[in-house]
Amino acid sequence: MAERILIVDDEKAIVKGLKYSIEQDGMETDAAYDGEEAVELARKNHYDLVLLDLMLPKIDGMEVCRQIREFSDVPIIFLTAKGNDMDKIMGFESGADDYIVKPFNVLEVKARIKVFVRRSRKKNAEAANNANVIQNGDFRFDIENRRLFIGSREINLTTKEFDILELLVTHPGKVYSRDSLKELVWGSEYNGDPRTVDVHVRRLREKIEETPGAPKYVQTKWGAGYFYKG
């Protein structure tokens, strides 16, 4: 999916030039020509970066930045003719991430955009990876690679043991009855002994629990079923 940039400036010639140049790099752009429109667009849409002029009609850039920061951590680069140190300090204090003084070289603007886009991609990739690894003390469950570690020791699980544990771990605190586990893990067509669930849970506990009779991870809610204590 292409990155999406919001350009905020009341000078239409500047907006037109930036849109053309940024879109040449395969990114998408939206434009706002006053502060109120900028906040509205930022609230309604997802942007990977905002290019924000300071001198705007209706709401100035500093206030736009402050309002956006109330609901979004999108990178914001100020584009402004105000280049003294105090203006820069105030810009950063309002929540800006970078500051480019007019007149600017559009190649510099594009270079700065690419820096933030790379950071954002890396951050999103790390977040996606972390979402596939569930950590609970010494317990580390790698869903994507189907591996379980307790401390430095890797625990070898059968396919069904892993499937049961994955279901419980990804829904911590939710209680699953024997019948619901059987249907979700084995499938609705499975007609075997429902007690097979209890056997698999017992074997799973023997592998992952220090004291299987007093489990730390896969616990029982008597009369209801099994759950993972996160």
Q: Which CATH class is domain 4-131?
A: alpha beta
Beta bridge partners of 228: 218
Give the model's pLDDT for residue 218: 94
Write the Ramachandran bin of 147: left for phi over 0, alpha for psi from -120 to 50, otherwise beta: beta
Would you call the peptide bond into 215 cis, given omega within 30 degrees of 0 as the criterion? no
Helix (H) or strand (E) holding 109: helix 106-131
d(CA 145, CA 156) in angstroms, rounded, equals 12
Looking at the structure, give the CATH architecture of the domain made up of residues 133-228.
Orthogonal Bundle (1.10)
Give the model's pLDDT for residue 128: 58
Is 133-228 in the same CATH topology as 4-131? no
* Total residue count of the chain as it appears in this document: 230
Q: Per DSSP, which regions of 38-165 are E strands? A: 49-53, 76-80, 98-101, 133-136, 139-142, 147-150, 153-155
pLDDT under 50: residue ranges of the chain: none
The model's pTM is 0.56
Give the model's pLDDT for residue 193: 73
**Range 198-213 burial, b when 16+ CB lie within 10 A, else e:** eebbebbbeebbeeee
Tell me if 175 sits within 8 A of 227, measured CB to CB.
yes
The domain spans of the chain are: 4-131, 133-228
The pair of structure tokens assigned to 223 is 């009369």
Give the model's pLDDT for residue 152: 83
pLDDT one-digit tens code per residue, 65-115 = 999 988 888 889 998 876 666 767 777 778 888 888 888 888 988 988 988
Classified as helix, coil or strand, 228 is: strand
Strand order of the sheet with strand 153-155? 133-136, 139-142, 147-150, 153-155
Non-local CB neighbours of 27 within 8 Å, separated by 6+ positions: 2, 3, 4, 5, 48, 113
